[in-house]
């Protein structure tokens, strides 16, 4: 009897997930409202994303470029892409912890499947991501390094990134509502991972010191590289990078399915 109940529960979860994808107008609208609310009464609105990225990368890029002896013409796009993709990845971990908490009013008033609030979170972070990519393309055009073929080759990487992000956001959305301290803990962990990931420094720095294993075993580095490498080199990323990401996605979705199936019905009581 218990086994039958569990099977029905998992079947309902799968139907909810599919229904959430079909309700794209709902989660896209709510997500866009979040963006509008964030920049309400702002004079330049989402352009603040470009300005903040430009100022931050300009200062950091100059200092680190000189420190590591890098050519700024190639290092600035490298640095910008690292920051842009990292911002999307970190949001799917840290901000995901408050997805259901922020949607408490909706969850208690409407009978929509809870997964639409996970997709809603991806909408607002995607605006930042799109603006960041626009900034990278603009800088490449100014530097004369823009390669449309490399950007086309990055499309499979973007798709794989979003598939992984959906899994990450699902996991931490459910865990975040059950364990309220998790978001703060993950924020600290991600700060450490950020400095261990080749974002503000080139991979060669780790290779020169025999620390290659730090980035080779880092799934977040590979998520960045499947986009950054094609854009900067005009060639697909190394095959092992794609293989690593595929393996990571499989593991993520196994964990996401387990966590969601255990906590989905408890969310409303945990809020």
- Cα–Cα distance measured from residue 22 to residue 41, given in angstroms and rounded to the nearest whole number: 33
pLDDT per position as a tens digit, 29-51: 888 887 777 767 666 666 666 66
- Tokens representing 145 are 């390094």
Least confident of 53-57, 207-211, 257-261: 53-57
* Residues 242, 160 contacting (CB under 8 angstroms): yes
Give the residue, 156 or 95, on which the prediction is more confident.
156
Show contacts of 146-149: CB within 8 Å, 24+ apart: 147/231, 147/234, 149/234
- Cα–Cα distance measured from residue 177 to residue 102, given in angstroms and rounded to the nearest whole number: 10
Mean pLDDT over 246-268 rounds to 91
Alpha carbon 135 to chain centroid, angstroms:
18
Evaluate if residue 4 carries a pLDDT over 50. Answer: no
- Cα–Cα distance measured from residue 186 to residue 209, given in angstroms and rounded to the nearest whole number: 28
pLDDT per position as a tens digit, 192-251: 888 888 888 888 878 887 888 888 889 999 999 999 999 999 999 999 999 999 999 999
pLDDT above 90 coverage of the chain, percent:
27
| 265 DSSP assignment | G
This prediction's pTM? 0.86
Evaluate if residue 97 carries a pLDDT over 60. Answer: yes
* Residues 64, 201 contacting (CB under 8 angstroms): yes
Evaluate if residue 62 carries a pLDDT over 80. Answer: no
Give the residue, 150 or 62, on which the prediction is more confident.
150
pLDDT of res. 6: 56
Q: Which residues contact 227 (CB under 8 A, 6 or more apart)?
A: 81, 85, 154, 157, 158, 161
Evaluate if residue 143 carries a pLDDT over 90. Answer: no
- Tokens representing 26 are 């709902």
pLDDT of res. 250: 96
């Amino acid at each position: 009897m218990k086994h039958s109940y569990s099977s029905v529960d998992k079947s309902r979860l799968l139907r909810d997930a599919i229904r959430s994808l079909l309700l794209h107008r709902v989660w896209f609208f709510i997500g866009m409202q979040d963006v509008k609310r964030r920049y309400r009464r702002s004079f330049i609105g989402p352009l603040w994303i470009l300005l903040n990225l430009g100022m931050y990368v300009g200062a950091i890029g100059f200092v680190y470029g000189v420190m590591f002896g890098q050519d700024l013409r190639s290092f600035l796009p490298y640095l910008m892409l690292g920051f842009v993709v990292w911002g999307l990845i970190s949001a799917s971990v840290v901000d995901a912890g408050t997805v259901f908490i922020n949607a408490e009013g909706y969850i208690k008033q409407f009978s929509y499947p809870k997964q639409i609030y996970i997709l809603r979170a991806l909408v607002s972070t995607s605006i930042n991501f799109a603006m960041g990519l626009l900034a990278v393309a603009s800088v490449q055009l100014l530097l004369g390094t823009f390669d449309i073929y490399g950007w086309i080759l990055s499309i499979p990487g973007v798709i794989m990134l979003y598939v992984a992000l959906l899994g990450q956001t699902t996991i931490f959305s459910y865990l975040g509502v059950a364990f309220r301290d998790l978001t703060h803990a993950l924020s600290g962990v991600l700060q450490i991972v950020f400095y261990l990931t080749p974002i503000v420094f080139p991979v060669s720095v780790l290779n020169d010191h025999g620390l290659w294993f730090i980035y080779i075993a880092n799934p977040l580095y590979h998520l960045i590289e499947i986009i950054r490498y094609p854009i900067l080199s005009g060639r697909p990323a190394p095959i092992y990078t794609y293989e690593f990401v595929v393996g990571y996605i499989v593991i993520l979705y196994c964990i996401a399915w387990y966590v969601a199936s255990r906590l989905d019905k408890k969310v409303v009581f945990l809020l």
